[in-house]
């Protein structure tokens, strides 16, 4: 129990957690290509990225749910006993993808991996609630009940009578752990376990002490 009492009243933290199934999946994926020249690396990365985007659209991903996440060009070196030698150039190109039909999440991942081939990179897979308004409201109500119960317990233990709430502040809450995808063998559809997402609200409440 996180709380403290002073001459101004009783200050407590109330926590509310609501667990709800996510309704969208976020991916960051693309290609990382090493070639002997910048031009070759850029051209192949562009071609593969276009192939991946086409494959994603073919699975039902909408244009509005595709956004460039990263594009980078970097030289790569190999080291000898005496010096460092240029060994080629790496171009990394990734897109951020929002998948709204979770029943097809595995198909989306598989299509992107197949399109990218050996140069594909999958940087991030996470789940979220697109509109958590209702869940957050429920968590807020639970946080208030938690704060009130703590304050009543403290007041009772101290032989005091709990007064009204004088002020309430909602601390920056958040969302619980993001379930990650498990990659299966190439011949099987990738299993995507969305699990549940925790919406967390924390309230800081100061109660007066009744005379």
Question: What is the full per-residue pLDDT of the chain (211 aa) written as tens digits?
Answer: 554 544 569 999 999 999 999 999 999 999 999 999 999 999 999 999 999 999 999 999 999 999 999 999 999 999 888 888 999 999 999 999 999 998 888 899 999 999 999 999 998 888 889 899 999 999 999 999 999 999 999 999 999 999 999 999 998 756 554 444 444 434 446 667 777 888 999 999 999 998 8
Look at the block and give the residue holding tokens 């609501």: 18
Q: Which of 109, 128, 147 is the last residue of a domain?
A: 128
Is the same domain home to 190 and 143?
A: yes
What is the per-residue pLDDT for 196? 82
Is the same domain home to 80 and 166?
A: no
DSSP per residue over 83-96, as a string? -EEEEEEEEEEEEE
Is the same domain home to 32 and 88?
A: yes
What is the per-residue pLDDT for 190? 67
Is the same domain home to 65 and 120?
A: yes
Tokens of 70: 């990263």
Count of domains for the chain: 2
Closest to 12 in 3D by CA, of 210, 211, 209:
209
For residue 7, give the CATH number of its domain.
3.30.110.170
Tokens of 168: 């309430």
What is the per-residue pLDDT for 185? 35
Q: Which residues span the domain enclosing 14?
A: 3-22+131-210
Is the same domain home to 36 and 113?
A: yes
Measured CA to CA, the distance from residue 177 to residue 166 in angstroms comes to 33
Measured CA to CA, the distance from residue 119 to residue 71 in angstroms comes to 15
Q: Which of 128, 150, 170 is the last residue of a domain?
A: 128
Cα 82 vs. chain centroid, distance in angstroms?
A: 45
What is the per-residue pLDDT for 195? 76
Phi, psi of 163 (to 5 degrees): -95, -160
What is the per-residue pLDDT for 110? 92
Is the same domain home to 100 and 41?
A: yes
Measured CA to CA, the distance from residue 13 to residue 8 in angstroms comes to 16
pTM of the predicted model as reported, rounded to 2 decimal places: 0.71
Give the neighbor-by-neighbor strand order of the sheet with 3-6: 3-6, 9-20, 197-210, 161-175
SS3 196: coil
On the CB side of 79, how many CA atoms lie within 13 Å of its CA? Answer: 1
């Amino acid at each position: 129990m996180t709380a403290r009492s002073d001459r101004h009243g009783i200050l407590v933290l109330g926590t509310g957690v609501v667990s709800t199934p996510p309704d969208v999946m976020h991916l960051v994926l693309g290609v990382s290509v090493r070639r002997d020249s910048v031009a070759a690396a850029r051209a192949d990365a562009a071609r593969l990225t276009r192939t991946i985007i086409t494959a994603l659209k073919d699975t039902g991903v909408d244009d509005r749910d595709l956004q460039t996440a990263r594009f980078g060009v970097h030289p790569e070196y190999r080291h000898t006993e005496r010096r460092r030698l240029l060994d080629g150039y790496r171009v990394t190109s990734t897109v951020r993808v929002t998948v709204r039909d979770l029943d097809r999440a595995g198909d989306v991942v598989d299509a992107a991996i197949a399109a990218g081939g050996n140069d594909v990179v999958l940087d991030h897979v996470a789940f979220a609630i697109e509109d958590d308004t209702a869940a957050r409201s429920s968590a807020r109500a639970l946080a208030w009940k938690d704060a009130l119960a703590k304050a009543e317990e403290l007041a009772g233990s101290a032989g005091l009578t709990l007064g009204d709430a004088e002020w309430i502040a909602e601390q920056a809450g958040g969302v619980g752990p993001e379930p990650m995808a498990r990659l299966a063998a190439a011949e099987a559809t990738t299993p995507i376990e969305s699990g549940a997402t925790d919406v967390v609200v924390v309230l800081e409440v100061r109660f007066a002490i009744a005379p």
